[in-house]
Amino acid sequence: MALAHRSIVTIDDVSVEELFRIFEVAERMCVELRSRSSIHHALGYLLASLFFEPSTRTRLSFETAMHRLGGRVIGFTDASMSSVAKGETLADTVRIVASYADILVLRHPREGSVRAAADHSPVPVINAGDGGHEHPTQTLTDLFMLHYERGGIDGLHIGLCGDLKYGRTVHSLLRALRHFDVRLTCIAPKALQLPPEPFSPGQKVECTENLEEVIGELDVLYMTRIQKERFEDPKEYERYKGTYIITPELLERAKPDLFIMHPLPRVDEISYRVDTDHRAVYFGQAAYGVPVRMALLLLLLGLEDSSDLPPPPPPQVEYRHDFRCSNPRCITHSEPYLAPKVEVRSSGEMRCAYCQRFASL
């Protein structure tokens, strides 16, 4: 079975062996895209694209990937134009759309929403971003670029900079990087540093607020925008907006082979004057989203064999159902039919089974 017919809710749903199989298929998709020879792989298959939040790159790259494979796409980009506006629950929306399509791609503002959707869907569900929680297919794209363009990931010094608290892309990326021998530096104001949840046991990360101090040591600088839509207080956003801005002057301190990456969209954190610098790779990074998502769709639909690969080991957990998650952004607070569900790990650690935030009695 391996990847076939599985949902991808978190990057932890992909083993390191499966990660490299995705890379292998994505490399072939790069060749087929150049020769336009991949148009029949998913002929007769249908992807449903359900976007409850705005998206350009993720939505269009998934839809492009399916079209390039010969499949078709249905869906919506504005939930207010669907029965959600009439009060339909996420579970019912997913059940109905899954009866029309072979695979679902879901973006939703609530953390843990894709886990809830996957629990109610008879077909695979792919997380295209669930609030400030995770964005696993962006991480697949990011890692593929490093693998493909730099020849490997081990040995790199990677800096994560910007809004690390609400930036879902860095949450997934940090979790995936535990498979590699890398040095990690997190660069953010104290109030926007990484929450504890994405860290893996034993993972060593250095933290600083000073980008100028460390930029000369980095092989990869992964910039993120300040996530305006996640702030409840607009004044708090204004306080941190523009904290870090990459300019040609700052890059004089950087290595000549630095990779400047960004999941996009950018706001003001990378000057347009940087776009012509050979170290600015963020537009090429975005382009890799199509072959990577083509590869993922083929593997999840069972159109590429992955039965020889070991899946991620199941977490050693027990479940408690006697108290509700305290995270106000969790899907359980907007979909009341979802029963409280907390994972109790062998270490004694407790996390909400949906949003993965730490829980306490």
Question: Which CATH number characterizes residue 209's domain?
Answer: 3.40.50.1370
Q: Are residues 100 and 118 located together in one domain of the fold?
A: yes
Q: Listing from the earlier edge strand, what are the strands of the sheet with 220-223? A: 205-208, 183-187, 157-161, 220-223, 259-261
Q: Say what the alpha-carbon torsion angle 105, 107, 108, 114 is, to the nearest 10 degrees.
A: 40
Residues 244 and 193 in one domain: yes
Is residue 358 in a domain?
no
Q: Tokens standing for 306?
A: 């992955």
- How many CA atoms does the CB half-sphere of 244 hold within 13 Å? 27
Residue 320 carries which side chain, given as an amino acid letter? R
Instruction: State whether 37 and 97 are in the same domain.
Output: yes
For residue 110, tell me if it sits in a domain: yes
Question: What pLDDT sits at residue 360?
Answer: 63
Q: Can you spell out the DSSP letters for 309-360?
A: SPPPPPP-EEEE-SS----TTBGGGT-TTSPP-EEEETTS-EEETTT--B--
Quote the domain boundaries for residue 42: 11-132+288-300
Q: Is the same domain home to 24 and 147? A: no
- What pLDDT was estimated at residue 79? 78
- pLDDT, tens digit, 9 for 90 and up, residues 11-27: 999 999 999 999 999 99
Question: Is residue 121 domain-shared with residue 47, that is, in the same domain?
Answer: yes
Q: Which CA distances in Å does 128 have to 7, 282, 344? A: 12, 19, 27
Question: Using CB atoms within 10 A of its CB, is residue 249 exposed (0-12), middle (13-18) or buried (19+)?
Answer: exposed
What is the per-residue pLDDT for 153?
96
Pair (201, 266) in one structural domain:
yes
Q: How many CB atoms lie within 10 A of CB 229?
A: 11
Cis bond before residue 265 (omega within 30° of 0) = yes
* One-letter amino acid of 84: V
Q: Quick one: 99 and 180 in the same domain?
A: no
Q: What is the reported pLDDT for 114?
A: 98
Q: What DSSP assignment string belongs to 155-182?
A: T-EEEEES-TTT-HHHHHHHHHGGGS--
Q: Comparing 46-50, 129-133, 215-219, which segment has the lowest mean pLDDT?
A: 129-133
Query: Long-range contacts: 274-277, Cβ < 8 Å, 24+?
Result: 274/246, 274/247, 274/248, 277/248, 277/251
- For residue 98, tell me if it sits in a domain: yes
**Average per-residue pLDDT in the chain?**
91
pLDDT band at 316 (very low <50, low <70, confident <90, very high): confident
pLDDT at residue 307 in the model: 84
Distance, in Å, from the CA atom of 265 to the CA atom of 129, rounded to the nearest integer, reads 14
In the predicted model, what is the mean pLDDT of residues 299-314?
88
User: Do residues 226 and 241 lie in contact, with contact meaning Cβ atoms separated by under 8 Å?
Assistant: yes
Residues 325, 230 within the same domain: no
Q: What is the pLDDT of residue 232?
A: 66
Collapsed DSSP state (helix, strand, coil) of residue 233? coil
Give the pLDDT score at 309.
87
Bridge partners of 95, per DSSP, are none
Based on the domain organization, do 173 and 152 belong to the same domain?
Answer: yes
Number of domains forming the structure of the chain: 3
Q: Tokens 């730490």 sit at which residue? A: 358
306 belongs to a structural domain: no
CA 66, 68, 71, 74 dihedral sign is: positive
* More reliable by pLDDT, 216 or 190: 216
In the prediction, which pLDDT does 165 show? 85
In terms of DSSP H, where are the helices of 164-233?
Answer: 168-176, 211-214
The pTM is what? 0.92
Residues 193, 265 within the same domain: yes
Tokens of 263: 């999941």
Tell me the mean pLDDT in the region 282-291: 97
Mean pLDDT computed over 56-73: 96
Q: What is the DSSP string of 14-43?
A: S-HHHHHHHHHHHHHHHHHHHHT--TTTTT
Considering the domain boundaries, does residue 329 fall inside one?
Answer: yes
pLDDT one-digit tens code per residue, 111-143: 999 999 999 999 999 999 998 899 999 999 999
User: Is 359 within the bounds of a domain?
Assistant: no
Flag whether 5 is in a domain: no
Q: Whose CA is closest to 167, among 202, 206, 131?
A: 131
Same domain, 209 and 263: yes
pLDDT confidence tier of residue 199, bands split at 50, 70 and 90:
low
Q: Are residues 292 and 329 in the same domain?
A: no
Q: Answer yes or no: is pLDDT of 1 > 60.
A: no
CA distances in angstroms from 270 to 102, 164, 238, 264, listed in the order given: 39, 16, 17, 10
Can you read off the two tokens belonging to residue 205?
């990360």
Specify if 33 maps to a domain.
yes
